[in-house]
Structure 1
């Protein structure tokens, strides 16, 4: 696997945001292509616009290709798509939204065809991407529909990994969207991802409460007693090392999160607010799907777009994490293919030894 140069697709996101800036900065070091083959999906006009706004990068060049199948090793490759009549850094526009979706769909074509090993997505604007044929609240929901899997949004870093039960929904709908079955299913997905994608042998998972103080015995809500705790018990009986429910403030403020390999949060801000505070350059990973997709943990940042102020570290981390997960999945597949149960293996060894023993006695 060390000889493999993975083909990593990178979508431009919103051309008027900081997507192109962080992509160019992340790929500016020519040594980057020694580790993987980048295939960018986006507008040549947007690439030129943002490249011209970056002062310290002396050179950034790419090879135009029709698809990832034509990607050249040792080069930055660009599949031209999502072109725009006018690039307007800092302005959310319907044209930019359409361009972001076109780049994403073109990359999805190559991902489904097996021409990419993983996909890294720069952020788009959730409002401007909406159209009659694109009604998704985020990349995670779109990928789940296209790849037909049970997806989970996991924010990951060297410090912690946080999975979400509910994602991009109004706060008023969170309680009604949580069920025992949903939590048990998400615990299964999170455990499997921690094992296969992150190489944790047997992960310990902390489950957050929904209400303040974990409901205070029902005084502040009964979801902990009626939904979350029974889900934890059922998952534990299945072999998932799940613990809780824990009040979010206590778990993070007291440093208790460090005792666990993963954390399951009930809703978006409950998990992402502490995660981003502890991991400013974290990565968004979509678990539970056949294909690997990551992204930076920031948004379009229209306020600094085109001003050469965007930090590319989260984009770099997203690329490196995607490569690590592809490698981990390949290693897991090799380790777990046609497994011979220990009992059967020991029985075979005993049978072989018993057959050899009489011959040795005769000698």
Structure 2
């Protein structure tokens, strides 16, 4: 990790300029604490930032356009133009041009991460449909970054002050979930979660709850046997290793009784099982953290929100939390490196 002498350098890929990404980024960066703690680098285009500064009447939002990461100023908010000409900003409208720019921003940020010019990346929301193509499939940030850094051992980890939820399976159709719930897949995700809780969050002996797949966690086999045949043996194996892993728990009762407060992390079997309760409890300050990557990546837990784009109505809480979490993980890694 290449921590700069004065402040960590955190890149922010702007996402879809027709969504709320630029708005929440600009609002979050007005937090005076962040200006003291980090050097922000926005990957996008100055014209788009200027547009939203005018629309939102944020006349005190100042930034400096630079050609590349080598030219950034540590006392400024920096903007790198990732395309020569910015597409027209059309709040709430899906356009291919905005998708192209969102992908260009992400690709440039990845290049600067690989050259160790960035200490972390925060990704603003984008629209998969105006990026995805037959030539370059795009399922989501997590998968794209996993491919870029040549590792499949990653975990979509939703984090807030109230709960931390990881997913065994991510962006999959529901009909494909069952075949991807295997002892190997659960073990792999649990290992990543345990390591992340220890190294990224500083928890010495993490306590993890594992959810069941079926209603009522299978009801002793009456509603499915995946709990008894796949999930429970994995839980027992980790316990025998001395890890504090428990379950499988019925997800409805688990969250209904707020049992997540008793654990450092919760492992859900599929996307909506984990994200519905997470966003219900933590939507305004939740963060999507990709554990297992060789770099630090966080993101707000919401999408492009086209319906409120350009209306100065978006809440920046999740974006602010994502930037703070990236900073906190950087510092924890610095402290760990100093001890070693």
Whether the 8 Å contact between 2:87 and 2:98 is mirrored in structure 1 is: no
Say if 2:206 and 2:264, in contact at 8 Å, map to a contact too: yes
Q: Is the 8 A contact 2:53 2:59 kept in 1?
A: no
Contact 1:285–1:293 (CA under 8 A) maintained in structure 2: yes
Counterpart in the other structure of 1:319: 323
Q: 2:211 aligns with which of 196, 208, 213?
A: 208
Task: Give the superposed CA RMSD.
Answer: 1.6
3-state SS of the aligned residue for 2:245?
Answer: strand
Give ranges in structure 1 of 5+ residues lacking alignment.
Answer: 338-363
Equivalent residue for 1:145, pick from 136, 147, 161:
147
**1:152-231 paired onto structure 2 within 5 Å:** 152-231=155-234
Equivalents in 2 of 1:254, 1:68: separation in Å?
A: 48
1:135 counterpart SS class:
coil
Deviations 1:36-89 (CA, angstroms, capped at 9, x unpaired): 00000002222122222113x231121122222221111001111144332111
Indicate conservation of the 8 Å contact 2:12/2:42, yes or no.
Answer: yes
Could you tell me which of 280, 286, 299 is aligned with 1:282? 286
Partner SS, residue 277 of structure 2: helix
Name 1:347's counterpart in structure 2.
none
Partner Cα separation in structure 1 for residue 6 and residue 269 of structure 2: 38
Distance 1:21 1:276 in 2: 21
For each residue in 1:146-170, what CA deviation from the matched residue of structure 2 results, as whole angstroms up to 9, or x when unmatched? 1122111100011111010000111
Kept in 2: contact 1:188–1:240 (CA 8 A):
no
TM-score (norm 1): 0.89
Aligned pairs, how many?
Answer: 335
Native 8 Å contact 2:46 2:65 kept in 1: no
In the superposition, relative to structure 1, how do residues 61 and 199 fare at CA in structure 2: closer, same or farther (>3 Å)?
A: same
What TM-score do you get using the length of structure 2 for normalisation?
0.95
Post-superposition CA distance 1:13-57 (Å, at most 9, x none)? 0111000001111112455321100000002222122222113x2
2:19, 2:305 within 8 Å by CA — same for their partners in 1?
yes
Which stretch of structure 1 is more off in the superposition, 150-159 or 46-55? 46-55
Give the superposition deviation at 1:141.
Answer: 0.4
Alignment partner of 2:61: what SS? coil
Mind listing any 5+ residue stretches in structure 2 that lack a counterpart? none
How far apart in 2 are the matches of 1:154 and 1:239?
23
Give 1:256 shift: 1.2
Which position in structure 1 is the counterpart of 2:75? 74
For 2:200 and 2:32, the matched residues in 1 are separated by 28
CA contact (8 A) 1:187 1:240 kept: no
How many angstroms does 1:131 deviate by?
Answer: 2.2
Which secondary structure state, in structure 2, belongs to the residue aligned with residue 206 of structure 1?
strand
**Displacement of 1:136:** 2.3
CA distance in 2, matches of 1:283, 1:45: 28
Distance 2:75 2:13 in 1: 19
- Contact 1:67 1:110 survives alignment (8 Å): no
> How many angstroms apart in 2 are the aligned matches of 1:287 and 1:202?
17
Q: Is the 8 A contact 1:12 1:122 kept in 2?
A: yes
Deviations 1:179-227 (A, max 9, x none): 0011011111000000000000110000000000000011111110111
